[in-house]
Amino acid sequence: MDNNNSSNLQSDLFSSTSKNNASNNTQSINSPLPFRARPTNFEGYFGQEHIFSRYKFLKEKDFPSLVLWGPPGTGKTTLANILAANSGLELYNFNAVLGGVNELKKLIATAIQLREDFGKESIIFVDEIHRFNKAQQDALLPYVEQGSFKFIGATTENPRSSVNKALLSRVQIIELKKLSEENLTSIIKNVATKFHIKINEEAVHFIGDYSNGDARNALNILDVIEKSEINSGAELTLKEIKPLVLENAREYDRNKDRHYDVISAFIKSMRGSDPSAAILWLAVMLDGGEDPVFIARRLVIFASEDVGNADPTALNVATSCLQAVAQIGMPEARINLAQATTYLASTVKSNAAYNAINEALSFVENNQTILVPDHLKNYPPKDTKPYQYPHSFPHHFVEQQYAPAGTPKFYQPTEIGVEKNIKDRLSKLWKS
């Protein structure tokens, strides 16, 4: 590329950036409050202090490629913007829902050209990276490996299962937590003060509680209040804002806040063994156009997380429901969903299996590599005491070591439903 073309490209790139910034400033007055209130530095970023104490490199100008993982409204996009501003690098935003691999490759080419021609480093931020299948994620792999640009991905799903392992091995996973009510009330107060929205303490706590750990949800409520006729400049009370908040929450948006509130109520109603309440929330979701397959998948998770071995049939019911819903579709699929929902809500409950895997994962994460006992290895050393085949013994059981000494008893079966039989059997087998 000759110098004239290089200069023209640099001019185009930076003039385009300047125009976009100017446009954003002009539009900010009429933009939604969550956009206008987004913090631009670490000092204004609340609720995720744990990541900065654990990952001190986040506040450095030179940080590794990242995947930000956390629930909606916890500040993943905001953090990406702050990291870019702090590092002084160009930030290119890309949404995996709105664009495909071809568009991403064009963005990558722009970032590489900017680096080669002008020595300017870039960040490519891919929001909802889990929406790319693993083959599509491969498009990023060689460039992230070479360090052609810094990569930041954002996802609401566990990246260990939703992101290509090859890509994952080249990035640092940063987990953002659901915001506490204390975090949310701090955010609400700061934004309300900055944008001259006067609400009393009781109203602040109502919004914080209602927002269910989601800062975007809380700021959307403030946005409604800011634009409402009741916002006359006087301090607003809970009595004044509550009807406004609830009225605007009647709409069902399957991609945003109400979606998460209703599915939360649905799960908690089944967990509380209230089939009528669970059916109510199921009806709200179906009436709002929620994806029935999404609901069926949640039922499968619930069957293992909240019913577990107290009623192993529950998982069969849930997986059969998922298969039926996927094949039949609406409106008939509502019947399959209703059957599975009422069964899961009504049956006995145990979260022992759920607790067991969480405690085991925590144990693994907080210890060095856990070695397999020699007699359990695929090719045991010759001088090892031989593995004893349980089926060769009475009752198909023989007591021997299956984990390193000192391993906790992660699975603690309850005395509920079928799990009582499991507990009794294990107690008899493992008397020691």
Going from the N-terminus, what domains does the chain have, and what CATH number goes with each?
Answer: 48-175 (3.40.50.300), 186-248 (1.10.8), 257-346 (1.20.272.10), 371-412 (no CATH)
- In which band, very low, low, confident or very high, does the pLDDT at 247 lie, cut at 50, 70 and 90? low
Using alpha carbons only, what angle is made at residue 11 by residues 9 and 12, rounded to the nearest 5 degrees? Answer: 65
Predicted confidence (pLDDT) at residue 180 exceeds the cutoff of 60: yes
Closest CA to 174 of 39, 45, 34: 45
pLDDT for 304 = 95
pLDDT digits (tens, 9 = 90+) for 316-334: 999 999 999 999 989 999 9
**Whether 177 contacts 50, CB under 8 Å:** yes
- How far apart, in whole angstroms, are the C-alpha atoms of residue 257 and residue 216? 8
Closest CA to 96 of 41, 153, 39, 148: 153
pLDDT digits (tens, 9 = 90+) for 248-287: 555 555 555 677 788 889 999 999 999 999 999 999 889 8
Q: Residue 390: phi, psi to the nearest 5?
A: -55, -35
- 271 vs 224, more confident: 271
- 8 vs 175, more confident: 175
pLDDT for 147 = 85
Which residues 6+ apart lie within 8 Å of 297 measured at CB?
322
Q: Say what the pTM is.
A: 0.54
- Written as one letter, the residue type at 337 is L
pLDDT digits (tens, 9 = 90+) for 391-406: 988 889 988 888 988 8
Report the DSSP pairing between strands 122-127 and 172-175.
unpaired
Predicted confidence (pLDDT) at residue 48 exceeds the cutoff of 50: yes
- Report CA-CA distances (Å) from 107 to 100, 102, 111, 133, 409: 11, 9, 6, 19, 51
- How far apart, in whole angstroms, are the C-alpha atoms of residue 204 and residue 182? 11
- How far apart, in whole angstroms, are the C-alpha atoms of residue 53 and residue 31? 33
Q: What is the DSSP string of 373-384?
A: PGGGSSS--TTS
Predicted confidence (pLDDT) at residue 10 exceeds the cutoff of 80: no
| Residue whose token pair is 């945003």 | 256
Return the percentage of the chain with pLDDT > 90, whole number. Answer: 36
> What H or E segment, with its residue span, contains residue 174?
strand 172-175
pLDDT for 26 = 40
Give the total residue count for the chain. Answer: 432
Structure tokens at 288: 């709002």
